[in-house]
Chains A and B, each alone.
Chain A
């Protein structure tokens, strides 16, 4: 009796689409998990039978190789874990500067391509067609070998004012160094910054409520951000010294050095991506109905203000999602650094560290995880920004 009712219950569930859906979906998840488990087991088994050591112990071993550009303290005695961080920061450095430069350049070119000035519009168009259609790797080689590679040797550097040198080894700049008690100086800076953020917030509210802007906000904030910390620093006896590059036996030493690998990669990445961003910006601007422009002109606004106050804010809604893709592309493309030896994550960690330790699976997994993390973070922020600028519909 009980057996029969159980059977009918089963049959009833099988016919119910909801139950059936749950069954199949859970079944699918189970299969995926099993396959994943099997792949991992298989890999570990194969690594073991081939006598390849596994695990993350290598991260604490000392690395023993030098890296030309490090943002944090590093020398050969630091660990492989440290090389991971060094590579990661170098990737972040080139990506973030690349994103800023590409956005700036992309906006300029995008707006220029819609200019009523024939020459300007055609130049912008030519820029886009040129740089968008040449492979990025070739552009990196072009900047590295053809442009920066022909600079003079260190002994015949191009010099400006005894402190700025340019040669085949890079660009050498004076490096500012603060001596004395710098905490008051930086404290004052942070304090002014916080006050200004609060002021901007208040100003926004005031504008929303009254429709008027607070007077002279911009000038005030820039002036106070510079002068107040300076005065605070001067009063507390902070001194600013410039560490100048000095000609040594082989190279210039001291100062701040921009290595040619960084410059070439940065130029190539931002110029290449800017071509795509320019198209995104152009499309965004063209998506704003021309009636908006005409209405703004009818109110007596000048061209620049129309663009800034009416067109761009509306275009942003169309621009941001594809722009996110371009940012992600730029970040991922930065891994082409390997081609010219810029010490990014792929070069230092997935390259040299992998080769010195032989821990291919762990190193590649960590590298992939980092790119995933960076990309997801960028998407998250861009999506938040997108939501912030999106049209609020009631």
Chain B
């Protein structure tokens, strides 16, 4: 009997100490791929094509991290998550990083045990209505039924906006952005509200004869800085994700793209030398190979390329760069330098 008790206690004690597991980079290297939480299906950000190949901006951030950590952008396992599932999946260690159009807020940063690794897309919440309703402004929406995705900042901003303007609404809440589009399509609600980028993406999903039958209202009612997240307590991994994103933005600023990065190896520009890992801090502090940033640009591309092919003019969404342009081109995209 006593031996049984000792054994049990031993096992339990062991389980407590083993809670301090190996670092995320070590586990990623050991299993050979990065587990990345993404949206269940949002064109332009993360959606699987007919062959099951994931595309989108958020997906490319995952690929960039894999390129930096493992030297191969293909070594990513995508886990589709709804807004409600995403944080628990990251907290519990089911995924190594969450790259899923998630708004950076105080609560999420401070109480969920998570860290935002930067902003991959500056967004704002907007409204979409069918043209036939003849609504020109969000201020005319009192009494409308509004389709929203549950567990999002969108849900909270909407409530604030309507309360502030003394308007009433019926919240019709769906689990996925696809559900929101379906509800709007079926006429369950008059208005669909979400981050503007999502509205453009979802408009492609609607069964309207012309996409222009649904219009986006001019009001933008919130700031939605979207970016990737990691768990707190692993600064090395946090740095890797943070700098993978910075590398994409810096690459655009330095004029490095997929096509020309190899030609730039001979460049005399010290900033490019440092970026390519030929000089300067290299990958040492993050325990990455020296060419980690080169791998990102070579395999995934710079921020501008990623933006353009997924949501910009090279994609069906045709979203303007706007504030997502580089800081020196009229936008607010700004990454810390490689020094």
A residues within 8 Å of B by Cβ?
24, 27, 31, 34-35, 38, 41-42, 45-47, 49-53, 64-68, 75-77, 145, 149, 153-154, 168-169, 248-251, 253, 260, 338-339, 341, 343, 347, 351-352, 354-358, 360
List residues of chain B with CB within 8 A of the CB of A169: 145, 170, 187-188
Which of B5, B113, B190 lies at the interface centre, i.e. has the most chain A CB atoms within 10 A of its CB? B113
**Which of A66, A169, A355 lies at the interface centre, i.e. has the most chain B CB atoms within 10 A of its CB?**
A66
Cβ of B189 to closest chain A Cβ, rounded Å? 8
In the complex, what residues of A have CB within 8 A of residue B173's CB? 68, 341, 343, 347, 352
* B143 x A51 contact (CB < 8 A): no
Q: A64-B159, A360-B88 are in contact. List 15 more A-B contacts (CB 8 A).
A: A24-B1, A45-B16, A50-B232, A52-B111, A52-B112, A53-B111, A64-B156, A65-B155, A66-B159, A66-B162, A354-B151, A355-B87, A356-B156, A357-B111, A358-B108
Contacts of B107 in A (CB 8 A): 356-358
Residues of B with C-beta under 8 A to A76: 159-160, 163
Q: Are B170 and A42 in contact (CB under 8 A)?
A: no
A35 to chain B, nearest CB (A): 7
Chain B residues whose C-beta falls within 8 Å of the C-beta of A45 in the assembled complex: 16, 19
Size category of the binding interface on chain B: 35 or more
Q: How far is the CB of B179 from chain A (nearest CB, A)?
A: 8
A-B contact pairs, 30 of them (CB 8 A): A34-B12, A42-B15, A42-B19, A50-B91, A50-B231, A51-B232, A51-B233, A52-B111, A53-B111, A64-B156, A66-B162, A66-B169, A68-B173, A154-B187, A168-B186, A169-B170, A169-B187, A169-B188, A249-B142, A251-B143, A251-B144, A260-B188, A343-B173, A351-B84, A354-B84, A355-B152, A356-B155, A356-B156, A357-B107, A358-B111
Residues of A within 8 A of B145 (CB): 169, 250-251
- Cβ distance B103 to chain A, nearest Cβ, rounded Å: 12
B204 in contact (CB, < 8 A): no
- Chain B neighbourhood of A360, CB < 8 A: 88, 91
Instruction: Please indicate the chain A residues that have their CB under 8 angstroms from the CB of B175 in the complex.
Output: 338-339, 341
Nearest CB in chain A: distance from B75 CB, A:
26
Asked if B20 CB lies within 8 Å of chain A CBs, one says: yes
Bound complex: CA A348 to CA B83 (Å):
14
Those of B147-183 within 8 Å (CB) of chain A: 150-152, 155-156, 158-160, 162-163, 169-175, 179
Q: Does B208 contact A (CB under 8 A)?
A: no
Taking each of B141, B160, B187, B190, which has the highest tally of chain A beta carbons within 10 Å of its own beta carbon?
Answer: B187
Interface class of chain B by DSSP: mixed
Q: Chain A's nearest CB lies how many Å from the CB of B57? A: 23
What's the least CB distance linking B335 to chain A, in Å?
26
Whether A352 contacts B155 by the Cβ 8 Å rule is: yes
A44: min CB distance to chain B, Å: 11
**Alpha-carbon distance between A351 and B179 when the two chains are bound, in angstroms:** 16
How far apart are A258's CB and chain B's nearest CB, in angstroms? 13
Using known A-B contacts A52-B112, A250-B144, determine if residue A31 contacts B5 with beta carbons closer than 8 Å.
Answer: yes
Smallest Cβ-Cβ distance to A350: which chain B residue: B84
Q: Which residues of A contact B108 (CB under 8 A)?
A: 358
Tell me the bound Cα distance from A341 to B162 in angstroms: 21
Which residues of chain A come closer than 8 Å to B141, judged between CB atoms?
Answer: 250
Partner of B8, one of A31, A50, A68, A75: A31
B186 partner residues in chain A, CB cutoff 8 A: 145, 149, 168
Nearest chain A CB to B143 CB, angstrom units: 5
Q: Does B133 lie at the interface of the complex (its beta carbon under 8 Å from any beta carbon of A)?
A: yes
What does the 1/0 interface line of B121-143 toward A look like (CB < 8 Å)?
00000000000010000001111
B188 pairs with A356, CB closer than 8 A: no
CB of B53 to closest CB in A, whole Å: 28
Residues of A within 8 A of B323 (CB): none
Measured in the bound complex, the distance between the Cα atoms of B160 and A154 in whole Å is: 26
| Chain B proximity of A46: nearest CB distance (Å) | 5
Tell me which residues across on chain A come within 8 A of B187, comparing CB atoms.
Answer: 153-154, 168-169
- Do residues B83 and A355 form an inter-chain contact, with CB atoms below 8 A? yes
B174 surroundings in chain A (CB, below 8 A): 341
**Given contacts A52-B112, A358-B87, A358-B112, A65 and B156 within 8 Å (CB-CB):** yes
What separation, in Å, do the CA atoms of A344 and B35 have in the docked complex? 33
Tell me, yes or no, whether B332 is within 8 Å of chain A by CB.
no
Q: Which 8 A-B pairs have the closest CB atoms?
A: A355-B151, A52-B113, A76-B159, A66-B171, A51-B113, A50-B113, A358-B112, A250-B144
